[in-house]
Structure 1
């Protein structure tokens, strides 16, 4: 039933981009100067999960690499690389060689100089995905002050960059912002048709099944594609030659859990405990949350570390806060 499993994965870059023609052209226009040997314009792509931001960014990086050998490209996910050192290390890995950089022992400033030397005689387009997950945002200042590097930031919210230092915002004053709204149900069906055409055997699925998946996915292409893959895998495991209707809803639920678990895997025991304390509650004041944590933790960390952990949960999009100081309230984010 499954002809090419790669096509049914969210990281796959398709042959064509559907229903994002306006965004594609806007980004291409912003990148045009780099093809003429001029500095590109920085960009911020924002929109809900599964709205095509990462897919388009990687598609255009691939396109740029094919058009000119003098343009370097790099993609860094800030969820997985949240420190200044890790971001710079990944850039060096993409555009040069990390043989001269040791993950333990090489000073961060030395890695920054290595990046600058690698782009001395050429331009680099750097995509920073999930930029709001950065723990050390001063790396943005260092990169923004390197004229040979064009930055493309990706996040879920337009306001994601508001919290960064004012001097960094000043360096990004001319940045272009571009919205990616969630897909309509009809557009999701078109995306699923395209993935099914290349990833599944003909006649192993019906259009009404793709429509049902699109309905459950509620505008999220990542969720829709993962759900299609899981429905096909489960049907194939049962020796069926077609996707079975009864597997669709369960596959959507499983896909949602897989997406959530990838985020929770990033947490240590204390961070996970804080999240689990908050999850069944409508909201908790800071003092109440700290007390519940101390009651349940085997070896509680100090309050300062708890605040640091809660900051990470907020950056990961798991919780949100309101108020300040003793009046601060925490709650699990419902999206």
Structure 2
């Protein structure tokens, strides 16, 4: 049944991105100056989980890297790497200039110099930018002449809400790319594209694909995870054809996998907040902050914690109710 298992992985970047052609053309046009040895403006990609933000960013930058000489690029997720030094180190490492540097202990100024001294132009993809510990990170990267930023976040308003006005004024002029959830038929097309590349011909029932798209409700990440789980179920049972009978039993497993994948990406402080809420089941905001401050030796300021909590909500790890003063947080079951 399986001919190329890699295609069924969530982080696989296809050769063609279906139903994002207009967004790709827009992105390509904005980054076109790089092909002529010029700098390009900052780009911001927004959209809910599963709309393909990270995929489209990686796709267009990899394509640029293949077509243009003198380009280097890097990717960092601010959920996992929250501090300025960790973020810049990740980018310098991807640029191939961190072999003699240590992630901890190397002055941040040295890392910035490595990017500044590159002969090539560098494109930095900064994912989950709305949970940055230090917003000056973006300003410092923005000020390097040979660096172009592609910023990714779920909600632009959340990102700008706590941003220093001086930084915000520079970033607000970024080119915006807003990704909406996929329509049902679009998600079906995406699934068939993966199936054609990953599986033998004629081994998937059309009704199974329609069912997966229905369950995923516009979320490509959910759809691909459920497809992979369904394929595994069919293989384990020795089925020659993947049908709805392979999809229904693994629905909860797919949700749990996505939930755990999000948890695995959390940085230290996000994980502490998440675990306190999970242990309590439901907790008042004031008590959550009190327990966090007791548990953590170097607690982040409350404005940063609010960013972390918003990101946990965006990925449906927790829920919140009430106003700011009376807010309560609740653990979300997968």
State whether residues 115 and 122 of structure 2, in contact with CA within 8 Å, keep that contact through their aligned partners in structure 1.
Answer: no
How far apart, CA to CA, are the structure 2 residues paired with 1:46 and 1:300?
33
Normalised by the length of structure 1, the TM-score is: 0.87
Where 1:128 maps in the other structure, the secondary structure is strand
Structure 1: runs of 5+ lacking an equivalent? none
Where 2:117 maps in the other structure, the secondary structure is helix
Q: 1:313 maps to what in 2? A: 309
Worse overlay, 229-238 or 270-279: 270-279
Where 1:46 maps in the other structure, the secondary structure is strand
State whether residues 52 and 220 of structure 2, in contact with CA within 8 Å, keep that contact through their aligned partners in structure 1.
Answer: yes
Q: 1:214 maps to what in 2? A: 213
Give matches, 1:294-333, under 5 Å.
300=295, 312-317=308-313, 318-319=317-318, 320=320, 323-324=323-324, 327-332=325-330
Structure 2: runs of 5+ lacking an equivalent? none
Where 1:80 maps in the other structure, the secondary structure is coil
Q: 1:242 maps to what in 2? A: 241
Q: 1:90 maps to what in 2? A: 90
Where 2:7 maps in the other structure, the secondary structure is helix
Residues 321, 139 of structure 1: CA spacing in aligned structure 2 closer, same or farther, 3 A cutoff? farther
Give matches, 1:28-177, under 5 Å.
28-118=28-118, 121-162=119-160, 163-177=162-176
1:22 aligns with 2:10: no
Normalised by the length of structure 2, the TM-score is: 0.88
How far apart, CA to CA, are the structure 1 residues paired with 2:107 and 2:297?
29
- Distance apart, 1:303 and its partner CA: 11
How far apart, CA to CA, are the structure 1 residues paired with 2:192 and 2:158?
33
- Distance apart, 1:184 and its partner CA: 0.3
State whether residues 277 and 289 of structure 1, in contact with CA within 8 Å, keep that contact through their aligned partners in structure 2.
Answer: no
How far apart, CA to CA, are the structure 1 residues paired with 2:121 and 2:297?
45
How far apart, CA to CA, are the structure 2 residues paired with 1:150 and 1:215?
38
Residues 147, 302 of structure 1: CA spacing in aligned structure 2 closer, same or farther, 3 A cutoff? closer
How far apart, CA to CA, are the structure 1 residues paired with 2:47 and 2:246?
30
How far apart, CA to CA, are the structure 2 residues paired with 1:303 and 1:91?
25
Residues 211, 172 of structure 1: CA spacing in aligned structure 2 closer, same or farther, 3 A cutoff? same
Number of residue pairs aligned between Structure 1 and Structure 2: 324
